[in-house]
Structure 1
Amino acid sequence: MRLISNLYSRIHPVSSNYFISTPIFYVNADPHIGHVHTLVVTDALHRLARLKGAEPTMFTTGTDEHGLKIQRAALARGFEPQQFCDNISKRFANLCSTFNIGNTHFIRTTDSSHLIAVQHFWNQLVNNGYIYKSKYSGWYSVSDETFLPSSSIEEKDIDGIKVKISTESGHVLEWFEEENYMFKLSQFSEPLINYYETEKISIKPNIFHQLVVHLIKQGLNDISISRPISRLSWGVPVPSDESQRIYVWLDALVNYLTVAGYPNLSQFWPPDCHVIGKDIIKFHGIYWPAFLLAAKLELPKRIICHSHWTVDGVKMSKSRQNIVDPFNLLQTYSQEWIRYFLLRQAVPHDDGNFSESQMCYFLNMDLADTFGNLLSRCCAPKINLKQIYPKTPDHKHLSQLQADNLIDSLIQLSSKVDSCFSEAHFYDGIDLIMSSLRMANKMVQDSKPWELAKDPEKHEQLYSVIYLAFEALRVVGILMQPVIPQMSTKLLDKLSIPTEERFWSYATPRLLPENSSPERPLNTELESILFNRIR
């Protein structure tokens, strides 16, 4: 039996101060399942950092409330923009609390502190010589809030009418000619390439890192960063020019500075990680670092980019009426079940498929048949006669179990899972965890503890089986805290694991004399059923 102690040195370290963010969500429509996905990925990474010792931490999310799209959406529904934003923003705040998201801050771009930060940031760009005024014309996507270069435009026939659309998003474009303030993005091609190729800033998965580098190498053009008030009244005024409003993406990106106390930045800057969807990679991977370099501020350390969701293999859209409303979903499934499926099923580099039948399949297979089954079997009074977490058995009794593969798996599990989780590859980490649990279930099945319990002379062997099964559950319970925090807490409480022993560094099996544990009673006030099968 190969025993290894102190694998903690292999775990990816985190800084004592940790700052992670979601993008702020645009309030032109109600939350959908994609927003929940972004939130739970970020929340899981935040919980992982705290389990690995990060303290203090900042986890920010919020709502993006300015721009032409909001202005038009409010008007179409008969609301003033502020009232419209208030209503939708509350839905996003409620989404966070309902799904047990542990954000420390919720920012709105209509906050007065944010207006001050945006205007101060604008003045820094002006003072550093990166803003100038010019006449500008081009095809504009209101839905994406951006002008498009000719390389990203195609003509399409819609109901007999030829229109210009964005090849990136498929949204219809409008032609605008106006006088705007421009940002000298063209001056940042070389500095950005240097940052990405030396990985002073990285984007994960690597496919998105390479995409951003490719876009930069194609050449960067100066961009319009203001809109005339005649077209856009709902936005942050340009300092010293009331006739212009600041471009919504410049406004929105500054939110990360606002929550960090800008212009008097706190200990949390620069951010450790931005979590975003692939549709906004250009804004976070090119515009944002260029803005920061122009303002002479440190860049975020990394960006984690995830893909989107289809529904039963079909792209979500209002026209298809297949948008998944997370609040409606909660009428059938708990928030933790939904959370588990999103992290279990999503692959960052490719779109995931949201299917309720598939969700039920994974919940039953993983949480009921594999995870929950192991606990309920080993807590059953006919098997665990004394209702205890046994003391660490002698080496000879462990050897009798012929469980070397399980033990090796548990010894390496925290390091391997950390490598997956730290890159937001939760699906891979969960696969590793479930593999270890299946080994533990097989060890119990092969050992037949229900027969060992009938023979007092075999009780030492019986409790060796229970001990190793409980060690598997304890290790997994610690590692699953970022994924299913409530269920993991319930498990660790049932096993009477002290709160101070639930950090990542404790997620190695206690099999050696120097890290053995004494016998302790189970928490008999708690039931041993973690998850009831969905029928």
Structure 2
Amino acid sequence: MTTTISRALCSARLKAALRCEHRLAACTRGAFIASATTAPPRRPSAGHQLRHASSSSPSHTSSRPKANYVTTPIFYVNADPHVGHLHSIVLADVLSRWAQARNGGWSSSLAEESPTKAILCTGTDEHGIKVQKVAEATSVEPRALCDRVSGRFRDLADAAGAGYSRFIRTTDKDHVKAVEHLWKALEDAGHIYKGSHEGWYSVSDETFYPESQIRPAQDSELTAQQKESNEAIMVSTETGSLVEWSSEENYKFRLSSFQDQIIEWLETNSRAVVPQVRYEALLDEVKSGLADLSISRPRSRLSWGIPVPDDKDHTMYVWIDALTNYLTVAGYPWKEAGGTHSDQQGCWPPDSMVIGKDIIRFHAIYFPAMLMALGLPLPRHIVTHGHWTMNKSKMSKSRGNVADPFESIRRFGKDEIRWFLCRVGGNLSNDADWSEATLLEFHRKQLQGQLGNLASRILAPKLQARLVEHAKRNDHRQDGKCVVGKPERTFEASVVDTLQSLPARVDEHFKAFEVHRALEAVSEAVGEVNEMLQRTEPWSTKICTDDEAGKVVYLASEACRIVAWLLKPFMPTKMEQLQRELGLMGEAVRWEDLGVLRDHVILRTKGEKVQPLFPKID
């Protein structure tokens, strides 16, 4: 009877997901949701009193602002990194840099001036059957394999210019300690019990599948040995991976008892998961029913992992191990940091958790339920992005359509790749197609042709020399330096309005996690300024007087100043170069003053040619 009910529940859950416009993708290591025995009665716990993220943090009060905390997923080390991993790293880094620039590193709801850096964490998930099997197949120790591949992910974060505060590994000693503490806390509160489980299990996917998600294998999917066996071979409909019937005993987390609380949290926090399409799909999935979650594997099958406390025959599974990393970075367990809930990093809960759409269930259902059980605040925003495809097909090494992120950064440039990933992949609702031709076109038209061209035009030695001579003749100086002053308000009023309103418009897009629209707004503003230059031709002594040329260069210079500040989270190196050419290095700019046009712009007295901001890419 239990098996029938559980399978019916899985079927209902699948149908509910299919009704969504964008069904949540099954994760490689999906939920343990096949048939299970009835759970024993649970003991009451104080954790059930927690409802949603509005609860106060373990350490923060109104007198102590919370540092902004952004996370990437921790990446599984069974294979080298690809462009999708780079996308997650860059998006999280951009959000973190924006928080640092916009709010001084504090969480947006508690913003105040501070030199404190925003906290960004990334890292690697290093335990599990896949790692164990790859290590066995390549005759290396699991730790050695993890060291090598984890190093590649760290190299990628460095190559991308990510300003991470910590690169965490699930093999780190403090993380193991945090995981063990979390397990005991859940167990002591009655949220963990031991039960038996059977179903169709995929070794490669590390998950049990319900019957609704398996099918007979086709001949083309079978090896010669499998064909000769004449046995019925079943595979996952989602991944095509081989599945086999398995039965075992394991520990379970009482996920089902948190269904109503998760629904309430989602319904009262409509921005808890973005974009909206995935929020709606997730809410439908939770409403369709949640089964208790297997959180261990027999140690005889999974030896590469953290043993269950007080039971060395079982290994903790990914739901407990990997998800705890976000707490580890924040200093968990806080009770051991001086006898109080002292949040060592002053950053819990996360402000933005950046993840791929295929792991939304784990971060937006399993993890919140565990936090509820512990009485801890929930993440403020879970930011889910789509996948990168190539020629409209999902990247796959077997298909030979994987873009090497290291080679892409080497060829096209770190900042250019960061900009492209956010400009094209920043529309979180959709998958994005990786195309070098598209990248080159965007670079030529928008970076080189618009922003790069604007900077080169207004900083051209001939034009600057002309304006310097005009300033000397008319004694237009400030602190001994030649300047052009702010023109009257009616001069190019439309351009002035665009520049003054641009920071607020970009900020609104960041609040909505629309980084692609933030970049579009900046590009449109740059385009409008370039149109002004084309129309007025300040470089021409026949068309534009010295006085008019000064006014145009003033507005164009102010545009570059504002744009450099707004684009610095996306392109930190290039925008620092632009600020240096504009003579702005070392200037502290308050957010409130960014859109306020200055009284004057200092002219360049050096006659050397400015290096192109975005050189041509062959």
- Flag whether TM exceeds 0.5 (same fold): yes
Aligned equivalent of 1:369: 449
Equivalent residue for 2:261, pick from 191, 207, 210: 191
Q: 1:423 offset after TM fit, Å?
A: 3.3
Task: Say what the alpha-carbon RMSD is for the aligned residues.
Answer: 2.2
What secondary structure does 1:451 align onto?
coil
Q: Using the alignment, how far apart are the partners of 1:301 and 1:426 within structure 2?
A: 18
8 Å CA contact 1:417–1:432 kept in 2: the answer is: yes
Equivalent in the alignment of 1:3: none
Name the amino acid aligned to 2:455.
L
Q: 1:291 to 1:168 in 2, by over 3 A?
A: farther
CA deviations on 1:197-254 (whole Å, 9 max, x unpaired) are 0008701111111111111001000111100011000000000000000012320000
For residue 355 of structure 1, the aligned residue among 423, 431, 435 is 435
CA separation of 1:371/1:160 partners in 2, compared to 1, >3 Å: closer, same or farther? closer
The correspondence of residues 24-103 of structure 1 with structure 2, limited to 5 A, is 24-52=74-102, 53-54=104-105, 55-103=116-164
The whole-number CA distance in structure 2 between the counterparts of 1:524 and 1:240 is: 74
Please, which of 358, 366, 370 is the counterpart of residue 279 of structure 1? 358
- For residue 173 of structure 2, the aligned residue among 89, 112, 116 is 112
2:200 and 2:209 in contact (8 A); partners too: yes
Determine the C-alpha separation between the residues in 1 that align with 2:262 and 2:484: 56
Match of 1:11 in 2: none
| CA displacement at 1:165 relative to structure 2 | 3.9
- Tell me if structure 2 keeps the 8 A contact 1:304–1:423: no
For 1:107 and 1:523, locate their aligned partners in 2 and report how far apart those are by CA, in whole Å.
47
Which of 574, 579, 591 does residue 492 from structure 1 map onto? Answer: 579
Cα distance, 1:415–1:94 mapped onto 2, change above 3 Å:
same
For 1:77-115, what per-residue CA distance to the aligned partner results, in whole angstroms no more than 9, with x for missing partners? 111101110111111111111111100101000111111
Q: Alpha-carbon deviations, 1:348-388, whole Å to 9, x = none? A: 11110000011000011111110010111111122222468
What's the counterpart of residue 613 of structure 2?
530
Alpha-carbon offset, residue 139 of structure 1: 2.2
Is residue 212–residue 282 contact of structure 1 (8 Å, CA) maintained in 2? Answer: yes
Secondary structure class of the residue paired with 1:321: coil
Give the TM-score taking structure 1 as reference length. 0.91
With over 3 angstroms needed to count, the CA separation of the structure-2 counterparts of 1:160 and 1:217, relative to structure 1, is same
Q: Deviations over 1:246-294 (max 9, x none)?
A: 0123200000111111111332111111100001001001100011111
Once residues 40 and 523 of structure 1 are traced to their aligned partners in structure 2, the CA distance between those partners, rounded to angstroms, is 36
Q: Contact conserved, 2:461 with 2:609, CA < 8 A, in 1?
A: no
Q: 2:288 aligns with which of 209, 213, 218?
A: 218
Q: Is the 8 A contact 1:383 1:453 kept in 2?
A: no
Structure 1 pair 526–67 and aligned structure 2 pair: CA distance change class (3 A) = farther
- How many aligned positions are there? 512
Q: What's the offset of the Cα at 1:519?
A: 3.5
Offset at residue 488 of structure 1 (A): 0.7
Q: Secondary structure at the match of 2:353?
A: strand
Query: Once the 2 structures are TM-superposed, how far is the Cα of residue 529 of structure 1 from its aligned partner?
Result: 1.6
Cα distance, 1:200–1:534 mapped onto 2, change above 3 Å: closer
Amino acid at match of 2:486: P
Cα distance change, pair 189–169 in 1 and its aligned pair in 2 (3 A): farther
CA, structure 1 residues 419+165, in 2 after alignment: closer, same or farther (shift >3 Å)? farther
Q: Deviations over 1:109-145 (max 9, x none)?
A: 0111111100100000101101111111122344443
Query: Whole-Å Cα distance in 2 between the matches of residues 138 and 307 of structure 1?
Result: 30
Q: What corresponds to 1:202 in structure 2?
A: 272
Q: Residues 191-340 of structure 1 correspond to what in structure 2 (within 5 A)? A: 191-199=261-269, 202-264=272-334, 265-266=343-344, 267-340=346-419
Which one of 516, 519, 523 corresponds to residue 599 of structure 2?
Answer: 516
Q: Which amino acid aligns with 1:507?
A: L
> After the TM superposition, which residues 372-451 of structure 1 pair with which residues of structure 2 at under 5 Å, given as runs?
372-385=452-465, 386=467, 390-395=483-488, 399-400=490-491, 403-451=492-540
**Does residue 468 of the first structure (1) align with residue 547 of the second (2)?**
no
TM-score by length of 2: 0.79
Cα distance between partner residues in 2 of 1:404 and 1:390: 21
Q: Give, in whole Å, the separation in 1 of the partners of 2:90 and 2:373.
A: 32
Structure 2 counterpart of 1:208, one-letter code: R
Instruction: Answer yes or no: is the 8 Å Cα contact 1:406–1:439 preserved in 2.
Output: yes
User: Could you report, residue by residue, the CA deviation over 1:299-330 in whole angstroms, capped at 9, with x for unpaired residues?
Assistant: 11110000000012222112101111112223
Greater Rg over alpha carbons, structure: 2
Deviates more, 1:160-169 or 1:253-262: 160-169
**Secondary structure of residue in 1 paired with 2:273:** strand
Q: Which segments of 5 or more consecutive residues in structure 2 lack a partner in the other structure?
A: 1-64, 106-115, 223-231, 335-342, 469-480
CA contact (8 A) 1:130 1:183 kept: yes
| Cα drift, residue 336 of structure 1 | 1.6
